[in-house]
Amino acid sequence: MMLVPWGALALALVTASAAIAGHGASGPPVPLVAADHAARLVERGEALVLVDLRTPAEFAEGHIPGAVSVPLASLEERVRDIPRTRRVLLYCHCPLEEIAGVYAVLFRLGFRNHAVLADGFAGWAARGHPITPGPAD
C-alpha cells in the first residue's frame, strides 16, 4: 500500500475496481486514511467530518468522537447530511468493496472531498483510539 497526500492527510490509494475485482464494477480510486493519522487529526480538532455508515445500534454501542451517523440503509435519504465543502472521512464495519461502492456513489454525485478510514471502525478500535458511546442524533 502506497501513502500519498490528501490535503493534509496521508492516504493510501486503492482502486475501487481492484477492490471490487470480479464483480463487474469499477470506480474511481478510493483514498484510504490510516487510523493513526485520522486520530491525530481528531485530537487536534481539525475540520474533518467523520461519517459512520454502520447501523444505529452499532453507532450507539460506540463510535469515533464527533462522528455523524448516516447508516448505509438510509444513505440515499441522508446524503444531504454529508457536507461537500469540508473533508469527509467515511467508515463502517464492512468489507472494503462495500465502502468502495459507497465512495463511488458519492463520487458520481459530485463529492470530491471524501476518503475512507483504512481498516474501518474495527481498525480504529484495535489501535486503542477513543470511542464514544451514545445514540445518533
| Residues annotated catalytic, as ranges | 92
Sequence-distant (≥ 6) Cβ neighbours of residue 134 within 8 angstroms: 60, 63
Residue in this structure with the C-alpha cell 472494503, named with its chain if needed: 96
CA pair distance 41, 63, nearest whole angstrom: 16
CA pair distance 32, 46, nearest whole angstrom: 17
DSSP conformational letter for 137: -
Q: In this structure, are residues 89 and 42 in contact, taking their beta carbons and an 8 Å threshold?
A: no
Angstrom distances, CA of residue 134 to CA of 29, 62, 73, 131: 33, 7, 19, 10
